[in-house]
Amino acid sequence: MKVTKSHLKRLIKEELSQVLKEGVGAGSPHAGKSAEEIAQWYLDKWENMRRQFDSIPPEVMPPEKVEGMVQMAKQDTIDQIKHEPEIRQEYYPHLSEDEVNELISLLGGGAQEEPRDPYADESPYDVGY
């Protein structure tokens, strides 16, 4: 099949309008979802992981090992959200800083700590003598 210039231009326009309509981060499974919805998605994912290993006999895969694997996956997810800005930009660009902190808290990671200003407690008149 031969593609004409006009047909190619039309296809490009259609694709471009689709991409613009979807927006940044639209490829993420979390695009447009609230912190609560995202947290529930992860909690369901980890519960499914537990259920998948339930069929393995405990002699082969002890329950403690399964729980350890789930906890490791959970901690890795929380650490990525907390410490990797590119992960936030790719998967959660629609969430504000407060919403990201809420997500971390809902996942069991506690709120992200704000960087502390080392000079915040000092008096402007304290010259350090």
Q: pLDDT tens digits, residue range 55-112? A: 888 888 888 888 888 899 999 999 999 999 888 888 888 999 999 999 999 998 765 4
Residue 90, Cβ neighbours under 10 Å: how many? Answer: 14
For the chain, the domain total comes to 1
For residue 37, what are the domain limits?
Answer: 28-106
Residue 41 resides in a domain: yes
**Angle CA(115)–CA(120)–CA(124) in degrees, nearest 5?**
155
Tokens linked to 27? 């490829």
Domain for residue 21, yes or no? no
Alpha carbons 101 and 96: distance in angstroms, whole number: 9
119 located within any domain: no
Residue 5 resides in a domain:
no
Distance between terminal CA atoms of the chain? 83
Q: Does residue 111 sit within a domain?
A: no
pTM of the model: 0.62
Note the pLDDT tens digit of each residue in 17-59: 665 455 544 567 788 899 999 999 999 998 988 888 888 888 8
**DSSP structural state of residue 5:** H
Q: Quickly list H helices, the chain.
A: 5-22, 35-54, 63-83, 85-91, 97-106
Query: Does residue 7 lie within any of the structural domains?
Result: no
Q: Is residue 35 part of a domain?
A: yes
Query: CA 68, 73, 77, 79: dihedral to nearest 10 degrees?
Result: 40
**114: in domain:** no
